[in-house]
Amino acid sequence: MPSSLQCQDNHKLHVAIIMDGNGRWAASRELMRAAGHEAGIEALRRVVRAAPDENISTLTVYAFSSDNWKRPEGEVAALLDLFRRFLDTETEDLVRDGVKLSIVGRRDRLPQDLVHEIERAEAATEWGDLLHLRVALDYSARDMIIEAAKKAAGAGDLTRETLAAQLGAPEVDLLIRTSGEQRLSDFLLWECAYAEFHFTTRLWPDFAENDLKDAIAVFHHRQRRFGALQAA
């Protein structure tokens, strides 16, 4: 937790984004939903490139929730194939740009070839030190908390600190959700305990560098009191 109650410009940020609105973007253009997901990948590229200039050191994005398995089989297959192609085409650029990639969530339900691609990309980008890009895939915050609690309790010491260590992520400073929805949808529940929220009606495929800049500017005007009184 920052020692100051102000949002400091020099504080390295953990920003989380719920990338919402791909399907609605495609429908508004009378396109297949897959086209919206393709456009969403381009939006992610823009944000990853812009993040270091906004003093963001960790960026966690919600790509596929554990509940998304309920979607039509064809759409799920298309999403997983898109992610497979993202790893294949983007890993070299991530290495060049100093971006470390981590995939968070379950892997036991993913196709084995996709798991191998994930492991390859994580190994290739391991030394990236400009930005840590965490992509939540088959992710449920409630399930992650349960598993972390089991591990921490198994070590004989279940505290906030040991649970947070098992979850393995810094606390979120700013959570952005696109498309006008205003809920967490089982994303980073523990890590967002004191996060600032920024909701925008912008559909994710339309989200650009200026949208990120605007969200960060709003964040820096917030008072973060963490339960204490506002500074005099």
103 in any annotated domain: yes
CA distance 116 to 175: 30
230 in any annotated domain: no
Question: Has 68 been annotated as catalytic?
Answer: yes
**Which H, E and C letters describe 24-43, residue by residue?**
HHHHHCCCCHHHHHHHHHHH
147 in any annotated domain: no
91 in any annotated domain: yes
Q: What is the CATH number of the domain that holds 84?
A: 3.40.1180.10
Q: Which of 9, 10, 20, 129 is catalytic?
A: 20
The pLDDT tens digits for 105-125 are 999 999 999 999 999 999 999
Please check whether residue 196 is in contact with residue 220, taking contact to mean a CB–CB distance below 8 angstroms. Answer: no
Q: Which of 55, 68, 97, 143 is catalytic?
A: 68
Does 85 have pLDDT greater than 60?
yes
Give the pTM.
Answer: 0.92
Per the structure, the count of domains in the chain is 1
Position 155 scores a pLDDT of 73
Question: Has 20 been annotated as catalytic?
Answer: yes
- Structural tokens at position 132: 């840590």
Position 7 scores a pLDDT of 52
The pLDDT tens digits for 22-54 are 999 999 999 999 999 999 999 999 999 999 999
208 in any annotated domain: yes
